[in-house]
Chains A and B, each alone.
Chain A
Amino acid sequence: MSSRREALHDFDWGKLAGLRLRADTVADGLYWGSHRSTRRGSGVEFSGHRNYVPGDDLRWLDRHAWMRHARLLVREFETETDRALRLVVDATASMSYRSPSAPASKLEFATLMAAVLARLALAAGDPVALDWLGGANCRWLPPLSGRQAFERVVGVLESASAHGDLYEDKQAIDRALLPVARYARRGTAIVVLTDLAELPHEIVGRVRSLCSHGRRVVLVRILDPIECTFPFREPVRLRALEGTIDITTNGAETRSRYLKALDEESDQLANLLAQRGGRLLSLRTDAEPAQAVRQIITSFSGANR
């Protein structure tokens, strides 16, 4: 297994390797320390209905509700050991950025992290839900568990592509996070994977509201190596992928001010989250994936229940 992992590390992950294979590879190295649940969801209290989505286990389809209301509804149950994982992946246009030296784009790295986390959760018997911030071909997934769940999560992650401008569609933040606030139960682990490139305070503000009812929230800020180092030395014209910002600057003179502003913003956002028990974690896309997942899991230990 280790030789397989080493071989995969030698490849360009952003281009060559399939997301599923990568997710398996990374997750296999993370089984240690993760809890293992024996409950499978049967014999627990009924918690409510939700709309049927293709792929749901037909055993939980409420035929009475269908006959009575002509709607496909699925019955949901709540267990005492429910530690559902809700993943919110930012798929706006800025997440498509990938510098020449980076192994993958920010969206690819985010989906990889999401897949690995889903694999870990499912392996422990915890359901996994998936929500999207912007993006195209992005399907929302309710909390899923079971053998088919991982395949469905990975399938949705694979089909997603970056799209959308938060400046033009500020409601996208609410559309992504309000369902989470509504449906995430107590004890749910929430991971928001975003670059916070646009409207960072709005996003963090909404994420802060999730930090209640014993939810553990980790906001993972994913940055490209260039965004962390600002290597420009010459006059350069920079254009944001979202919004209308288009500026010309002298790289050598601006670099230190940019890095300072980035640090200050990260500290400020981290403080905002920390006030509500949330955590902000910054990751670079060239980070070693297994180590990155480990950092995310470690961040949960500091997050409030």
Chain B
Amino acid sequence: MSFVTVGALAIALLVFIPFIAHLLQRGGRAPVDFSLARLVKPTAKLATRKSRFDDRILFAVRALLLTTLALLGAAPLVRCNRPTLTRPRGASVALAIVLDDSASMRAHVKNGKARFELAKHTAVQLISQLHEGDVVTLVLAGQPARMLVGATPQLGLAEQLCTNVKESDRSTDLTGALDLAENSLRNLPQGDRRVAVLSDLGQKVDKVYANLWLPLPELATPVQDCGVVTASERTNQVEVTVACTNTGSNTSRKLSLVPAAASGMRPLSLPITQRLESSRNVQTVVFKQVPTGLALTARLDDSDDNPSNDAAPVFGGVIGTVVATLSDYTTARPATGGPPLVEQALAAVGRQLIVRPWSALPEDEHSYSDVSLLILDDPSTFGPEVRAPLVNWLSRGGVAVAFLGARSVSDQLGVSLFPFLEGSAVWSPVDGLGFDPASLKWLGAIGTSWSDIHARARLEFEQAVPAAATVRGRWQDDRLAMFESQLGRGLTWTIGLPASTNISDLALRPALLALLDRVIETARHRGLSPITIVGHAWKTDAHDHFKVTGPEGAQVPAGTPAGVAGTETWYTPTLSGIYKFQLDGDVQLRIAHVEPDEIVEPPNSALITETQRSTSVPSLLELSPQIVASILALVLLELLARSGTAWLTPIRDLFHRLKSRRSTR
């Protein structure tokens, strides 16, 4: 509070002046000269009582008047809890509101209210404070960041859209949202541009943004939260993944399997409760010997700041991205033993991967039904029996990676490496070459680890590369080493070197993990996986009859929010849970879950500090018009009280009546 504010508020001390005057007047009225006073009978009791009543009204009015004047002097310097859009430049404002609708915003922070409800209410308040000439942008920070309405002067429309925003289980995409908000304000004529961030800041932001404003810093207050991410059942065994914040929220909490609410089952008699490990943020709890065919729910006992994620239905299918591998165990295994290097790399890369080693490529399409990614290590050429289901699977959105070696060279008729190569290739020895690091920049800094793999041979396939292929890597002698090619909705990666350590150190370098991570993510988003993270779309071929039933039983007609573009149909889940897809009569169960990091990641305190330090716009409330109106009303009231008291007669009568009734009792 500044000195000016204190000085203005000190005016309120003047309220003692009418108080003292009132006390003085209570001692006796000012005498009126009257020569014939000896003829007047005194009525002192009644007179004193009435004067006291009148004086109280006048005193109250004058005291209120002075207090209001003091407030007027202090306004708009009075800080208010209500987030207020000030106009230090006095001109129009371009305001971008970033409203976080991610899963972490469901946590409760203040007065039992969820972060999201507070944020939405504040967003509506901010929009209501905009005037004609202002523009507003609404950006939602749930994954993926979306622009709800972009730089519009139609404030009523923006307010209505903001009111209709619903909470979701999406991950946080704060960076994307801030980019969208910043871009939307870039070319606007308003000099005063601000980005109001209504988020718990549950994501690290590397970039520095200007004009950030946190109207509700309390949204970033750390919470204690444990949530069930996924729960799946497979062969009498239920695996439940639980994520907890690192603030001790998982201490002594228990996880239980209970019948689903709508199943009408009796309580299970098995030991179905396990205690969480307090040392891990993300852990998988396994319940064994669970009867099959039951509708179950995994539930955390006790409660925390976010009760919405304390329970999740147990998914009866496979949870995870199925990765099929085809390797020659004789050459692909390391000298130290264990599974082939590709399988070991897959185990190191990601969660929720189900690795399914194949000894040979299947000749039926059904084997590809739940496969999202296929990795081939030095495969032999494909005959027509295996090529057809492979191509069909790829066309529907499959992703395949082929590490080609000496077996890929064949002169037999009817066999080829299509869809990886469209012609013949030559296996030729080289003298300790590596990949050109400049061509592997898309892998980041880790791509340089493939610069010294000391290859002793390689597959030269320049003549067999499809026309639309994208080169992803070259040898140090500038020959083609790796490319990516589209086939239908599918994708193929072709690398001219096998994973075997007998040929090179390719599989021993971290760049392989980076490559696998990338293709796994690509496979997940291609839509063939029955599991996805909330906010990531499921894509499929266009269907005439496409209907989705969400976790809350809502029927989602095709097109909203599912979309159709060309030959593709996609649907983006906004809530975690099990979804039932009906595609031309075929029914599939899929599951969308919350990103574990959405629960684990603490608020970005650095961004809070940086924003509060750089923000020069204080959150002040402009109350002057209301105060001036109050002063005018009080002045009018005082004039009425002083001009005549006939209008006070009913009040006075009521006062006396009440008082006499009280004394009678």
Residues of A in contact with B (beta carbons under 8 Å apart): 94, 97, 106, 195, 197-198, 223-224, 226-227, 230, 232, 234-243, 245-250, 253-254, 257-258, 261-262, 265
Contact = CB atoms under 8 A, between A and B. Distances in A.
Contacts of B46: 235, 250, 253
B335 interface: no
Given A235-B46, A248-B29, A226 B34 contact: yes
Interface string B391-433: 0000000000000000000000000000000000000000000
Contacts of A245: 37-38
Contact of A240 (B35, B41, B645): B35
A106 B34 CA distance: 12
B554 interface: no
A235 B41 contact: no
B40 A237 contact: no
A17 B32 CA distance: 27
Interface in B441-482: none
Contacts of B645: 234
Nearest to B48: A248
Given A247-B40, A248-B29, A265-B39, A235 B47 contact: yes
B47 A239 contact: no
Contact of B42 (A227, A240, A247): A247
B36 A197 contact: yes
B47 A248 contact: yes
Interface in B138-191: none
Given A235-B29, A235-B51, A237-B28, A248 B42 contact: yes
Contacts of A226: 34
Contact of A195 (B30, B35, B39): B35
Nearest to B646: A233
B35 A249 contact: no
B31 A239 contact: yes
Contacts of A258: 36, 39-41
24 contacts: A97-B35, A197-B35, A224-B35, A234-B50, A234-B645, A235-B29, A235-B46, A235-B47, A237-B32, A239-B31, A240-B33, A240-B35, A240-B36, A241-B35, A246-B31, A247-B40, A247-B41, A248-B43, A249-B40, A250-B47, A257-B41, A258-B41, A261-B39, A262-B36
B208 interface: no
Contacts of B33: 97, 238-241
Given A247-B44, A253-B46, A262-B39, 6 more contacts: A195-B35, A234-B50, A237-B28, A238-B34, A243-B38, A248-B29
Nearest to B34: A238
A227 B36 contact: yes
Contacts of B42: 247-249
Interface string B1-44: 00000000000000000000000000011111111111111111
A261 to B, nearest CB: 4
Contacts, number: 96
A227 B47 CA distance: 20
A222 to B, nearest CB: 10
A127 to B, nearest CB: 32
Size bin of chain B's contact surface: 20 to 34
Contacts of B48: 235, 248
Main secondary structure of the interface of A (DSSP, over half): mixed
Nearest to B645: A234
Interface in B38-92: 38-44, 46-48, 50-51
Nearest to A93: B35
B31 A237 contact: yes
B37 A239 contact: yes
B423 to A, nearest CB: 115
Contact of B37 (A223, A234, A240): A240
Contacts of B30: 237
Nearest to B29: A237
Nearest to B38: A245
A238 B47 contact: no
A253 B47 CA distance: 10
A227 B35 contact: yes
A236 B43 CA distance: 10
Nearest to A237: B29
A239 B40 CA distance: 10
A256 B32 CA distance: 19
Contact of B38 (A224, A240, A253): A240
A108 B34 CA distance: 17
Q: Rank and list the top 6 A-B pairs by shortest CB-CB distance, nearest first.
A: A235-B47, A247-B42, A239-B31, A197-B35, A240-B37, A94-B35
A238 B32 contact: yes
Interface string B351-370: 00000000000000000000
A230 B30 CA distance: 18
A31 to B, nearest CB: 34
Nearest to B39: A261
A246 to B, nearest CB: 6
Given A195-B35, A197-B36, A234-B645, A254 B41 contact: yes
A238 B40 contact: yes
Contacts of B28: 237, 248
A296 B208 CA distance: 103
Given A237-B30, A239-B32, A253 B37 contact: no
Contacts of A197: 35-36, 38
Nearest to A243: B38
Interface in B205-240: none
A237 B43 CA distance: 10
B42 to A, nearest CB: 4
Nearest to A239: B31
A76 B578 CA distance: 138
B284 to A, nearest CB: 87
Contacts of B44: 247-249
Given A249-B42, A254-B41, A254-B43, A235 B50 contact: yes
